[in-house]
A and B are shown apart, each in its own frame.
Chain A
Amino acid sequence: MTKQVTLTIDDKKITVPQGMLVVDAAKIAGIDVPVFCYHPKMEPVGMCRQCMVEIGRPMIDRATGKAILDDKGQPRLQFMPKLETACTNPVSEGMVVLTQSDKAKAGQKDNLEFLLTSHPLDCPICDKGGECPLQNLTMAHGPGQSRYLYDEKMHLAKNVPLGELIFLDQERCIQCARCIRFQDEIAGDAVIDFDERGRSTQIVSSSDPGFDSVFSGNTTDICPVGALTTADFRFGARAWELDASASICSQCPVGCNTTFNTRREARADGKIVIKRVMPRQNEEVNETWICDKGRFAYHYAESDARLSKPLVRKDGKLAKASWDAATKAAGTAFAEAKKNFVVLASGRLSNEDLFNLKSLADQVGGKAVLYSNMGGGDLTSLVGVGAGTNFAEMGKGTTIVVAASDLYEEAPIWYLRVKQAAERGATLIVANPRETKLERYSDFVIRYSYGDEVKTVQDLTKKGKVGDAFTKADNAVVLFGSDGLGLEGSSALAIACARALNDTEHVGRPNNGLIGVWQRANDQGAWEIGFRPEENLVAALKGKTVYIVGADPAGDDPALAKALNSAKFVAVQDLFETETAKLADVVFTAQAYTEREGTFTSGERRVQRFYPAVPAFGETKPDYAITSQVARQMGVILEGTSASVVFEIMAADLPTFAGLNYAKLAEIKEQWPIVGRGDLYYGGTTYENKQGLGVQLSNAASRGEKVTLPRLPKVAALRPKENKLLAVPVTKLYDRGVTVASAELLDQRIGETFVALHPSAAKELEIEAGERVKLSLDGVSKEVVVKIDDTIPAGVVLMPRSMGLPINEPTEAGLKVGKKAAVR
């Protein structure tokens, strides 16, 4: 354990670990030392000069090494003649810190006067007003009046887009460099920096697109003034008008804790609307950060295209109907179907929704199918990471393997956490057929050919430098994804990963095990509850009675649309009139997750609660309640009034969730750093977590159950062949998925549908970067933009998922030479 030292700050005695900075020790003691540049998550730089304090240290007799005592037997203190910065000085035994002496107070006041010489007095129109550290600290520590003449203030541009997402007000910037240091130290995207020097110092970005980082929004949280604002929130509302509701981000499997800030406003016809998404602290999940997708893509639920009332097909047309009529129609059809009943649901749904759906399928005797092209969730239930696993604890002695996943694009906060673990000394092995950003921080890069995933992972247990790094590690975690893989390939990869972990005894303990980099927020929950994807979904749907919830198969893939056309009966439950809904016999209108409560299970198998932020839209209902109502029509009783009760029933039914309930999930504990109280100046405007840190599930291995892993199937993996291109699916953070597409703000980042090729392939096809070509794939014809990228293996063409191309698995592609390219 770290040595503890005792010091006195303003007459308060406090014992803290050696090496802690004075500013942090003061915070623990409940004493606020004003700071601007210091942030508890970043290296101290001492540049804003705000945290001036007096520091006395016991005088030591050089001969004896002991403290020199005064007449009263107290250690004699030596104070430096100058004030010192609390953010750069570590604590030491017997130290005395004065933060409120006349000298210290004068230093703090003087510094604020300096800062305000250039800062405009535009608080009344500033977005930061009300939650602004400079404003607050000026009130607390600053001079009442400035001796600086107002006419001499510098006038600079107030509306500089660093990119289309983040705007800079040059006048307000106090050059604390928090944003620049965040991007460099934490995000690893040094795409903003200072230009010029002295008083001319200004933040700039030269990247294309501007401020090219998926973490950019965090800089607005830690900006201690109103210099950086998001395009989403700026000029949107005043901080003090906002209500806050705790939530969990639904965009990826990380499960970032968030807060929705809402307001009732005239602009929205008097409705309560979400004004912004802010991070909420959970040091074991997302710390105090979120990615830009989580921050900006929430607008889909506000769309005018939302369905407000159930629809029932009448005379060939969908027409509005009562809930009773709609549920009765569906219930009758489902009851008749028996084993021909198929529930097709996605990981967009909550645990409660999925549990009710699974129960219904079981009752009827049908199937619960997960709408996903990625396998392996059964294995994460067995040997996945579980209780006690925290990336923040990983460092030296831990080996992290990332296989077939581009974490920066697929789960940005995991990217941050893995990067940090690697920087703390964890061994990072990145295995991917193409270059990914995470490799910068890796110890080993394994570049295999598409199709060789399984063999690559098997090699991890063999002797050699890489093998030793894996097998001999104290702890090992494997994150596997589906870069370039479909269901078959990713399932096989998962088995290989699980076996490698199990064979090397890296299971059943905290900070060991498997993590699936799923495509949706609650895929892990769906697997835990018993949903399984179907290898041949077309066959599974043909002629069946299908209940499709939170998925749009017909919109994604014409083959599935065809299958559904020949289904016996189709009920669809969604927010929108999707392509699938258009084929349905009955459409149920569901609430967005922002309108209700529930839980998600993250990829790290943490079950976390989200809460309603805005009132429900129209006559929509939560998914679990709709399912309950349908069930009731069939004489099946499923809980439908309270999500927490559904959860309790689930916990009683499924061993994985045993012992859990909403109260447990809402438990909190003290977290470091302290954020979000009266002290926005310290951690930023990230929210304190008062609503629960969630609970990580146990797994079969940790419960001591016998773990039997499946054998590796023989997979006939496709490989690029001569004269044939292999088209593979990849995930991009910003896509045209239903939960992103209506966020206009992200249009530019999403861009057009593209295919990416190696220069040699492009040359052969005589196509150039930026050129538009026509591409046909499985009956879908689409104009796409060509990207050329020399980090892609020759012979492979990358196709983004959820961008209108029905690419579910690797596919041999014969791109035609010329302007009209065709696949298959």
Chain B
Amino acid sequence: MASVILRHREIPDIHKLNVYKKNGGFDAFKKAVTKMQPAEVTDVVKNSGLRGRGGAGFPTGMKWSFIDNKNWPHYVVANADESEPGTFKDREIMESNPFQFLEGVALVSFAVGANAAYVYLRGEFWQIAKFLDEKIAEMGDAGYLGEKLFGTEYSLKIYTHLGAGAYICGEETAMLESIEGKRGQPRIRPPFPAVYGLYGKPTVVNNVETLTNLPLIIQNGADWYKSLGTPDSAGVKIFSLSGRVRKPGNYELPFGATFRQLIYEHGGGVLEGHPVKAIMPAGASSSFILVDDKVLDTPMDYANVRTLGADLGSASVIVIDDTVSIDWVINKTIHFFKHESCGKCTTCREGTYWMMHLIDDIRDGKHSTATVDLLLNVAKQMQGKCLCPLGEFSTMAVVTGIERFPQDFKVHNP
């Protein structure tokens, strides 16, 4: 099957404007601006069943339709903060298929009536930002950005904005704060960005991969896209495969492909032929899936993964084999979240710090069963009380790790 997102793998040099154009580039944007009403574009995306690829899986078209049309101007922000441990898909898209992504930005901007869009890249994507700036300039020169596009009244400018090392800025309201020149700390929601977003104006925030789907959806239609996935999860998804596999990397597969296909057919199996012990399907924020044959044969879409007690999220599949102890893994995730906690809300600020002490004791063998119980208890005590999802995420691996892999938390010297 031809790629939808990772088209550079089949079309070399698609990052060049003429090559992209030769392969249907900007046809969708031109069609939308010259032949469609903004609401029609939204409708096509709604009907395509496209859901947000950043992790939450919220229906994209519906998100756009919430935008407050009584308050102007509108803004679009592309979330290129990609910071979830285990996720590295947006980077490949932007590095290798930048125009398709930028055309997606242009399409959503037109659909919601935004004349300015910001691409928020994590600070480490310094070189990608430079590269995108060049591509944006090329688009401007070619008449795809700027004033009165295609002879219509519609104008659009796209800007890049670099973060500077803060995982939390991937959370959409923290991202908006960061663009506004503040500390990247999440806002209380509601109001959601569609009502109160960048500079207090209605704003749509979409992930890079989500946006990169748009040109082909507009070009080929909603039905085409729907036909690619499962009834629950339309289209294709990039699975970032990492951890203890032979061939880690990004794999674009239709929703519904199984874990087994991903890990064994595409990823070449586990290093040194070990069995898969656990899967974290959504990066460090995931619950652990305790793996058996049935799990490996589960189709990867939003609904089916949920039956395994986890979320597919951004589909950053971290494979853990039997050489790895789960307490070591959650030691890593807790330290990560403690480091990235923005400090705004008590629950996450204090909770991640407390969990870090407990897991350190466990890793140092200074613990009793009470320590493990307390760790589980603290994690559960955090749940449902944090200001934003980060704190919640920090508890997922802890709770499922202890509950599903109790043998890995045995007291060494009882």
Beta-carbon contact of A199 and B341 below 8 Å: yes
How distant is A152 from chain B, measured CB to nearest CB, in Å? 5
Closest to A197 in B: B343
User: Which single residue of chain A is at the shortest CB-CB distance from B341?
Assistant: A198
B361 to A: closest C-beta gap in Å: 9
- The answer on a CB contact under 8 Å between A45 and B183 is no
A117 at the interface (CB under 8 A from B): yes
B347 in the interface (beta carbon within 8 A)? yes
Q: Which of A44, A115, A201 contacts B188 (CB 8 A)?
A: A44
Q: Is the CB of A52 within 8 A of B385?
A: yes
| Chain B contacts for A52, CB-based, 8 A | 385
B53 contacts the other chain (CB 8 A):
no
Cβ contact of B374, chosen from A115, A147, A154, A198, cutoff 8 A:
A147
Q: B346 to chain A: which residues have CB within 8 Å?
A: 47-50, 111, 114-115, 174-175
A199 touches B343 (CB 8 A): yes
Cβ-defined partner of B345 (8 Å) among A48, A82, A107, A197: A48
Contacts A175-B349, A199-B353 given; does A194 touch B384 at CB 8 Å? no
The reply to whether B357 and A152 contact each other, CB–CB distance below 8 Å, is yes
31-47 of chain A: CB within 8 A of chain B = 44-47
Q: Is B166 part of the binding interface, using a Cβ–Cβ cutoff of 8 Å? A: yes
Chain A 143-159, CB-CB to B under 8 Å as 1, else 0, gives 00001110010100000
B156 at the interface (CB under 8 A from A): no
In the assembled complex, which residues on chain A have CB atoms less than 8 Å from the CB atom of B350? 114-115, 117-118, 199
Task: Please name all residues of chain A whose beta carbon is closer than 8 Å to the beta carbon of B353 when the two chains form the complex.
Answer: 117-118, 154, 198-199
* Interface size range of chain A in the complex: 35 or more
Contact of B354 among A88, A114, A200 (CB under 8 A): A114
Task: Answer yes or no: B352 CB below 8 A from chain A CBs.
Answer: yes
Distance, CA A85 to CA B345, complexed state (A): 12
* Contact assessment for B345 and A201 in the assembled complex, using a CB-CB cutoff below 8 Å: no
Q: Given A47-B345, A48-B345, A117-B350 in contact, is the A198-B340 Cβ separation under 8 Å?
A: yes
A49 touches B345 (CB 8 A): yes
From residue A175, how far is it (CB to closest CB) to chain B in Å?
A: 6
Given A107-B385, A118-B350, A199-B338, the answer on whether A46 and B188 have CB atoms closer than 8 Å is yes
C-alpha gap A45/B347 in the complex (Å): 14
Does A83 make an interface contact (CB < 8 A)? Answer: yes
Once bound together, how far apart are the Cα atoms of A328 and B374, in whole Å? 83
Judged by a CB distance under 8 angstroms, whether A81 is at the interface is yes
Indicate whether B342 reaches chain A with its CB closer than 8 angstroms: yes
B225 → chain A closest CB, angstroms: 29
Nearest Cβ on chain B to A106's Cβ, whole angstroms:
9
Query: Are B351 and A197 in contact, with the CB atoms below 8 A?
Result: no
Q: In the complex the two chains form, is B347's CB within 8 Å of A49's CB?
A: yes
Contacts of A154 in B (CB 8 A): 353
Cα–Cα, bound, A198→B390 (Å)? 12
Give the residue among A47, A83, A85, A117 with the most B Cβ atoms within 10 A: A47
Check if A199 sits within 8 Å of B349, measured CB to CB: yes
Please give me the residue from chain A that is nearest to B344 by CB atom: A47
Instruction: Find chain A residues with CB under 8 A from B340 CB.
Output: 198
Interface size on B, residues (CB 8 A): 27
| Cβ-based interface call for A110 (8 A) | yes
Residue B381 CB within 8 A of the other chain: yes
The docked-state distance in angstroms from the alpha carbon of A81 to that of B384 is 8
* B9 neighbours in A (Cβ, 8 Å): none
Interface string of A191-219 (1 = CB under 8 A from B): 00010111111000000000000000000
Instruction: Tell me the minimal C-beta distance from B108 to chain A in angstroms.
Output: 28
Residues of B close to A49: CB separation below 8 A: 345-347, 385-387
Contact A83 B188 (CB under 8 A): no
CA distance A88 to B188 in the complex (A): 8
Contacts of B343 in A (CB 8 A): 175, 194, 196-201
Nearest CB on B from A242, distance (A): 31
CB distance from A206 to the nearest CB of B (A): 15
B193-250 residues with Cβ-Cβ distance < 8 A to A are none
CA distance in complex: A115, B353 (Å): 11
CB 8 Å contact bits of B183-195 with A (1 = contact, 0 = none): 1000010000000
Given contacts A114-B351, A115-B346, contact A47 B387 (CB under 8 A): yes
Q: Which of B340, B345, B349, B377 has the most CB of A within 10 A?
A: B349
Closest Cβ neighbor of A202 among chain B residues? B343
Closest chain-B Cβ to A170's Cβ sits at a distance in Å of 13
Does B332 touch A at the CB level, under 8 Å?
A: no
- Which residues of B355-391 have CB atoms within 8 Å of chain A's CB atoms? 357, 374, 377, 381, 384-387
> Chain B residues with Cβ under 8 A from A115's Cβ?
346, 350
Q: Nearest residue in A to B370 (C-beta to C-beta)?
A: A147
- List the A side residues contacting B338 at CB < 8 Å: 198-199
Task: For the complex formed, measure the closest distance between the CB of A108 and the CB atoms of chain B, giving whole angstroms.
Answer: 10
Known contacts A114-B350, A117-B350: A198-B384 contact under CB 8 Å: no
Chain B hits for A196, CB < 8 A: 343
Q: B384: which A residues are within 8 A, CB to CB?
A: 81-83
Most buried by A among B341, B342, B343: B343
CB distance from B335 to the nearest CB of A (A): 11
Quick one: which of A44, A114, A200 has the most chain B CB within 10 A? A114
Q: How far is the CB of A442 from chain B (nearest CB, A)?
A: 22
CA separation between A154 and B387, bound complex, in Å? 23
- The answer to the question of B274 belonging to the interface, with a C-beta cut-off of 8 Å to chain A, is no
Which residues on B sit within 8 Å (CB–CB) of A175?
343-344, 346, 349
Q: Residues of A contacting B352 with CB < 8 Å?
A: 198-199
**What is the distance, in angstroms, from B148's C-beta to the closest C-beta of chain A?**
33
Q: Which residues of B contact A88 (CB under 8 A)?
A: 188
Check B354 against A117 for contact (C-beta < 8 Å).
Answer: yes
| Cβ distance A485 to chain B, nearest Cβ, rounded Å | 40
User: What CA separation (Å) do A194 and B349 show in the bound complex?
Assistant: 14
Task: Determine whether B339 belongs to the interface, using a CB cutoff of 8 Å to chain A.
Answer: yes
- Interface centre among B352, B354, B374, by most A CB within 10 Å? B354
CB-based contact B354/A148 at 8 Å: yes
- Cα A708 to Cα B234 in complex, Å, equals 81
Instruction: Determine the chain B residues whose CB is within 8 A of the CB of A148 once the complex forms.
Output: 354
| Closest beta carbon of chain B to A80's beta carbon, Å | 9
Nearest CB in chain A: distance from B51 CB, A: 22
Beyond A114-B381, A152-B357, 12 additional pairs, beta carbon < 8 A: A47-B346, A49-B345, A49-B386, A111-B347, A115-B346, A117-B353, A117-B354, A118-B350, A154-B353, A175-B346, A194-B183, A199-B352
Q: 4 closest A-B pairs (Cβ-Cβ)? A: A201-B343, A114-B350, A198-B341, A82-B384
Interface on B for A, CB 8 Å cutoff?
A: 166, 183, 188, 338-347, 349-354, 357, 374, 377, 381, 384-387
30 contacts across the A-B interface (CB closer than 8 A): A47-B346, A47-B387, A48-B345, A49-B386, A49-B387, A50-B346, A52-B385, A82-B384, A88-B188, A111-B346, A111-B347, A111-B385, A113-B381, A114-B346, A114-B350, A114-B354, A147-B374, A148-B354, A174-B346, A175-B343, A197-B166, A197-B342, A198-B338, A198-B340, A198-B342, A198-B343, A199-B341, A199-B350, A199-B352, A201-B349
